[in-house]
Amino acid sequence: MISQILFIILFGTAVYFFVRNVSKIRRNIFLGKDEKLNDNPSARWKNMALMALGQKRMFDRPVAAVLHILIYVGFILINLEVLEILIDGAFNKHRIFEPILSDFYFFLIGFFEVLAAGVLIACVFFLARRFIVKVPRLVHKDLVGFPVRDATYILIIEILLMGAVLLMNIMDTDLQDVAILPISSLFVPLIQNMPLDTMHVVERTAWWGHLVGILLFLNYLPFSKHFHIIIAFPNTWYASLNPEGKFENLASVQQEVTLMMNPSAQPPAGYEPPTSFGVKDVNDLSWKNLMDAYSCTECGRCTSACPANTTGKLLSPRRVVMQVRDRLEEVGHNIDKHGKDFKDEKDLHSYISAEELWACTTCNACFEACPVQINPMEVIYKMRQYLVMEKSEAPSELNGMFTNLENNGAPWQFSPSDRGNWAKEG
């Protein structure tokens, strides 16, 4: 009874805090502007299946892709065993599915063990890539501080969770008496002389360790980049179905120009003149841009594909997305602390410099490289719209072009009446 009560308290507390923290993330995402992205559902389901479930874009780097798939599939399938742990904990049972599934149960446990061993190996490999091989995009200056610790914490947690599953099976004498399991049976000779009471204590410790570890992991996710294992699915479902690289017109600007150029034109019903243009802060971005920020895996594929970054420019698409998330978290914290009407002295331009924004060539390489279809370029050009249209701040080269467009109707510095002169020279 004490065990059941403790289990219910732990489980209920963990679920409560997880739901509360995820609801804050949802609240933060919908601070963004409305955007309609629910057309063509069949294409969206297909895209989600390919990108989030099938991880299509990971396979341009096959070794990392295979190991990532192993961790992903292994972690999801092994945690089917958590369902049994939850039922056992709630009803004070031990391996409740064993008599129901009979021999198939032992096949599943054996399969889970192989996956657990594979996840262990893959996690060690990924730790080695970060701290021994030091793959450039994984030791980039973007990842100073918490991002490095975050990635390390998750890999170590996964190793500990998989180790707890295997230790639990090794020490379960009932399991070893009726089944030869591919991994744990290899270690059984090492514990043959261990007292049964000790084996039971270790087995229960591993059982509780795995359970508590899963609940802690669940509540760490909303604070970690690894929240992408949940939000990548809706993020790819709501991804734009437009041709890659397509720019959207600013509808507010288009409407204002239409009214200005045609004095007889009537504003649409309920029309309100725009109060600002472009993106100053996170609430000027669309909710999909903000969902992108929470979906970022910080893998750095976007930055490694960026030609501006490759040539030494300050721009890093990964950093842009991370800064959007950091600013959004700050705005959300201010709402929690001071109320929804509180305004601080910062905005998104306090996090992302003009030098970074103007380094972007809008080539779309960052979007094409992203495994979960995040679009840093969209944030960049919306922020540049604010700099030009609200602050009148643009590089001198662009200012010259703007002047020519205004005076000559073309980017070039000559009169419209002289445009045909090139043909006369022939």
Could you read off the pLDDT of 197-215 as tens digits, one per residue? 999 899 999 999 999 999 9
CA angle 248, 250, 255 (to 5 degrees): 130
- pLDDT of 293 above 80: yes
How far is residue 353's CA from residue 373's CA, in Å, rounded to a whole number?
A: 24
Cβ contacts of 95 within 8 Å, gap of 6 or more: 84, 88, 105, 172, 174, 175
What string of H, E and C letters represents the secondary structure of 99-135?
Answer: HHHCHHHHHHHHHHHHHHHHHHHHHHHHHHHHHHHCC
In the block, which residue shows the tokens 């959007």? 324
Beta carbons of 178 and 106 less than 8 angstroms apart: yes
- pLDDT of 75 above 80: no
Instruction: Convert the pLDDT of each residue in 366-376 to its tens digit.
Output: 999 999 999 99
Average pLDDT (49-67) is: 89
pTM score, two decimals?
A: 0.88
Strand partners, 286: 33
Instruction: Convert the pLDDT of each residue in 96-136 to its tens digit.
Output: 888 888 888 888 888 888 999 999 999 999 999 999 999 99
Instruction: Convert the pLDDT of each residue in 379-403 to its tens digit.
Output: 999 999 999 989 989 988 888 888 8
Beta carbons of 164 and 206 less than 8 angstroms apart: yes
Average pLDDT (251-263) is: 82
Residue 105: the pLDDT is 87
In the block, which residue shows the tokens 């991804």? 239
- pLDDT of 349 above 70: yes
- pLDDT of 426 above 70: no
Average pLDDT (243-269) is: 82
Instruction: Convert the pLDDT of each residue in 146-199 to its tens digit.
Output: 999 999 999 999 999 999 989 998 888 777 777 778 888 888 888 888 898 999
Between the CA of residue 367 and those of 292, 316, 354, 363, 379, what are the distances in Å?
11, 13, 21, 9, 12
* Domains of the chain, first to last: 2-226 (no CATH), 251-408 (1.10.1060)
Confidence of residue 313 (pLDDT cuts 50, 70, 90): very high
In the chain, % of residues over pLDDT 70:
99
Residue 251: the pLDDT is 79
Instruction: Convert the pLDDT of each residue in 134-158 to its tens digit.
Output: 999 998 889 889 999 999 999 999 9
Beta carbons of 274 and 256 less than 8 angstroms apart: yes
Beta carbons of 199 and 171 less than 8 angstroms apart: yes
Q: Which residue has better confidence, 396 or 78?
A: 396
Residue 167: the pLDDT is 92
Beta carbons of 49 and 133 less than 8 angstroms apart: no
Confidence of residue 250 (pLDDT cuts 50, 70, 90): confident
Beta carbons of 382 and 284 less than 8 angstroms apart: yes
- Average pLDDT of the chain, as a whole number: 90
Residue 95: the pLDDT is 87
Beta carbons of 223 and 333 less than 8 angstroms apart: no
Does residue 285 come out as left (phi exceeding 0), alpha (psi in the -120 to 50 range) or beta? Answer: beta
Strand partners, 165: none
Helix then strand count (H, E) for the chain reads 20, 0
In the chain, % of residues over pLDDT 90:
53
**Torsion sign over Cα 410, 411, 415, 419:** negative
How far is residue 2's CA from residue 211's CA, in Å, rounded to a whole number?
A: 16
